[in-house]
Amino acid sequence: MGGSAICKCLTRPLLLLKTTLKTFFFLCALANNICQAQGDYAGSTTCQGCHDKEYKQWQNSHHAWAMREANASTVLGDFNNVTYSHQGIITEFSQSDGQYFVRTQGADGKTHSFKIAYTFGVEPLQQYLIGFPDGRYQALTVAWDSRPMEEGGQRWYQLMPNDMGQPGESLHWTGVYYNWNSQCAACHSTGLQENYSPKTNSYSSSWTEINVSCESCHGPGLKHSASPATPMPVAYREQLQWLIGDGASIASPLGSPHEGSKVEIESCAGCHSRRVKISPYAVNNYPLGTEFLDHYQPQILREGLYHPDGQIQDEVYVYGSFIQSKMHQRGVRCSNCHEPHSLELKAPGNAVCAGCHAPKVYNSPAHHFHKPAGSPGAQCVNCHMPTTTYMGIDQRRDHSMRIPDPVLSSQIGAPDACTSCHTNKKASWAGQAINSWLEAKGAADRRQSNGYAKAMHAARAQHRDAERLLIEAASDGRINAIARATALGLLVDYPSQKSYETALGQLKDADAIIRLGALEALEFLPPRQRWDIISPLLNDHIKAVRLAATRLLLPSNNTQLGSNIDEYMESLGLQADTAFGQLKLAEAYLAQNLYSQANSAHQQALNIDPHNIAAISNYADSLRIQGQEPEALDLLARGNQSVPNNPVLLHALGLAQIRSGQPALESLRRAAVLEPHNSRFNYVYALALNSGGKPDQAIDVLNRALVTSPENRDLLTALATINRDIGKLAKAKYFARRLVEVFPSDARAKQLLQSL
């Protein structure tokens, strides 16, 4: 690794691909193109010659501080022989001859001294990178709180105080989740090439500049620097003027902002999004004529990442929330609020919003209902962009800029800005307060109807009206595209004629992310029925859509896919240095009945992350498919020893024990106890109890599970049939009637009730 622009060529092998001459020559050409592109960078100091103002604005920005060599001018933490202790692990910080060192627990569980190679970030925290002989750089999870002392800063602290990981585990600072090369590098350095070798499980990563420099956003500028008339690869449009007209309260642009907005937002989204990389190019170093979805597949509003109403939950960054907003729909772009080089807001406080929202209307108690004017409740962002704290101290604002609806939030289990501030009050109080304010000023309730929030919540909670609500949300053109795509994807759990027709109707939508959602929904079709419906999208002009179509068609039509398979496998190979990537490769090989390659990919996933739960359970399932049940059972038994008390592995072990004729009740019981709200675990445990001659215990388990999943089809069916089989017909009829009420179109439910 180094700061030069020397290209090491594309040394990343694409693991275990079918080596056709066509694929081979394609990869050679691709490697050559990437090498040339990496050599096309000029460097930020070259840019300074003509763009001194922008260079100086950038020089002290978070982008410029994204990563730097560790020295006296860049290290913010206290390395003056200080000690930090957490959960019995002692970490010592020191310096000598201008170099910085940390003495702490290593991957082997023993204490070692490590040299700090680079700083990582600047505010509100700074991390430190340590290099290893295999080319890996690992980020310490003991970080420096760089906030002022009066804000609680100027101290060492543990990023993961309750789950810092044990030596050898993925969450330990030496583990895969804190590996710079695979997890961080692409967005913290310019022109990065990871250069991972699966054969040696090592890296020889390189960059053109150590931090996020000019060419991270504008693309390689060597040709432009040699001939300024040559445009930069990323062609940003000049800002349109937004004016608040007479009698209006919100500004309108003088012209159409959408094309310029799309280019800018997608340029930022390369890093400011939760996404999977599907092309080998560095950020914003793309061939002309391609789009964001030709290089990345963004995460939609999935459970665990976003709350049901689309608010940020996990660390998803900005893109996924911003494209939900009305601002995005109007054509507002990042640089309308943020100065693109310094990254600072263009104006302080409410003034940044006042550029488009008339202050007389919006920056007044008549709108925000809070006094005095400078109070926290009078600040636009505190109501419309509430924060979520990540990494212990890093407060990041939700960019969906929604209108608070505390009653809806309480109904769907999402946070709301009102009770997050008024912590001693309930949502009902906040809702009544808002209604009273509106009534007092004679105004209508202007809170937007968030149909997709109710749909997402219903699907996650398995409510009876989930399918109807999802179909309504997916079909509503007024709803933002990422929410519609999410609603479509969730229909995969509701296979019906209506769901099929809804997804089919969206396959030709102009927005690629909606086409992706429609494809996800159609996964409920049996593989043999997919070709006629999905195959036209193999020629979609957007790469992410082609890849999604290929994935769905692999199981039964791989002989007809031709170059689409090559493109799909090449995209998966880009993640070959992660367990996730290897699991996706294994899944693709299994779909093609290439079992030996699938086994190798599963083994490589476990080499990368030995404690990866999905790798253990998926590999065991693959072995079962191949008829290697004893090997699957042994793998799960060893997995439960290395990752004890994991409900997923315990449940999988219990199923394997049943298939092998071994006692399984204890494994299934522990899985259900460890994850009591998992209806599937409770259902399977109850069936095992019933099969073992313990129907009363089975009914107890099912009844407890029904409390949290009252409309679960499996639970209701099992309660009806088990009660029937032991002669409790009244109970059986009761649960059968509930089943029919929840699923009125289910013919089997009706037959069960009639049989009683």
Name 238's Cβ contacts closer than 8 Å, sequence gap at least 6. 260
Question: Mean pLDDT throughout 132-138?
Answer: 97
Reduced to 3 states, what is the DSSP secondary structure of residue 200?
A: coil
Q: In this predicted structure, what is the pLDDT of residue 449?
A: 56
Reduced to 3 states, what is the DSSP secondary structure of residue 154?
A: coil
Q: In this predicted structure, what is the pLDDT of residue 557?
A: 73
Residue with tokens 């499980």: 201
CB 225 within 8 A of CB 26: no
Question: Mean pLDDT throughout 84-93?
Answer: 96
pLDDT tens digits, one per residue of 505-549 = 999 999 999 999 999 999 999 998 999 999 999 999 999 999 999
Q: At what angle are helices 713-725 and 695-708 packed, to 10 degrees? A: 150
Distance CA 208, CA 320 (A): 29
CB 495 within 8 A of CB 523: no
Q: In this predicted structure, what is the pLDDT of residue 9?
A: 30
What does pLDDT average to over the chain?
Answer: 91
Domain boundaries, the chain: 67-188, 242-399
Strand partners, 395: 389
pLDDT tens digits, one per residue of 290-316 = 999 999 999 999 999 999 999 999 999
Per DSSP, the residues of 249-298 read SB-EESS--HHHHHHHHHHHHTTSB-EEE-SSSPTT---TT--GGGTEEE
Q: Does 470 score more than 60 pLDDT?
A: yes
Q: In this predicted structure, what is the pLDDT of residue 443?
A: 60
What residue type is assigned to position 104 of the chain? T
Provide the token pair at 237: 């449009």
Strand partners, 387: 397
Reduced to 3 states, what is the DSSP secondary structure of residue 130?
A: strand
- Among 333-347, 360-374, 428-442, 454-468, name the one with the lowest average pLDDT: 428-442
CB 417 within 8 A of CB 404: yes
Distance CA 473, CA 466 (A): 10
Q: Does 435 score more than 80 pLDDT?
A: yes
| Separation in Å, CA 385 to CA 209, 325, 433 | 33, 11, 20
Please state whether the peptide bond connecting residue 124 to the residue before it is cis, i.e. omega within 30 degrees of 0. Answer: yes
| DSSP for residue 128 | E
pLDDT tens digits, one per residue of 595-605 = 999 999 999 99
Q: How confident is the model at residue 38 (pLDDT cuts 50, 70, 90)?
A: low
What residue type is assigned to position 158 of the chain? Q
Strand partners, 209: 190
pLDDT tens digits, one per residue of 45-64 = 999 999 999 999 999 999 99
Vertex 547, ends 543 and 551: CA angle to 5°? 175
Q: In this predicted structure, what is the pLDDT of residue 86?
A: 95
Q: In this predicted structure, what is the pLDDT of residue 448?
A: 52
Could you tell me how far CA 245 lies from the centroid of its own chain?
40
Strand partners, 610: none
The share of the chain scoring above pLDDT 70, in percent, equals: 94
Q: How confident is the model at residue 6 (pLDDT cuts 50, 70, 90)?
A: very low
Q: How confident is the model at residue 11 (pLDDT cuts 50, 70, 90)?
A: very low
**DSSP-derived pairing of the beta strands 111-120 and 99-105:** antiparallel
Q: At what angle are helices 579-591 and 543-557 packed, to 10 degrees? A: 50
Distance CA 83, CA 92 (A): 4
Name 539's Cβ contacts closer than 8 Å, sequence gap at least 6. 546
The share of the chain scoring above pLDDT 90, in percent, equals: 84
CB 8 within 8 A of CB 204: yes
